[in-house]
Amino acid sequence: MRKSPWVLLIFVLIGGLLGGILGEILHAMAPQGTIQSIFATNFNPGINPPLTIDLVLIKLVFGFNIKVNILSILGMFIGIYLYKHV
């Protein structure tokens, strides 16, 4: 059976979302220490500040920011694994 790349994208997004939520919960609940520093630390790749183009009539603003932590990356890999084996 041929699998759609859209299904893969959905699996990766859901895995990353669930991993990110778990990372935020761990950040709030874990005591200050090694676990919190390893799993709850995140980085934000993206365009900061957003690119702004002012054309007098229209002002366009382009930008994005992604909050990624170790658990969201792990969730993405689990999503890929589930996609391949389901």
Tens of pLDDT, residues 47-64? 888 899 999 999 999 998
How many angstroms separate the CA atoms of 9 and 31, rounded? Answer: 34
State how many domains the chain has.
1
pTM of the model: 0.77
How many angstroms separate the CA atoms of 70 and 85, rounded? Answer: 23
End-to-end Cα, the chain, rounded Å: 11
On the question of pLDDT at 84 being above 60, the answer is: yes
Relative to beta strand 42-43, strand 59-62 is: unpaired
Tens-digit pLDDT profile for residues 19-29: 999 988 888 88
Residue span of the structural domain in which 16 resides: 5-85
Residue 41 in tokens: 């630390």
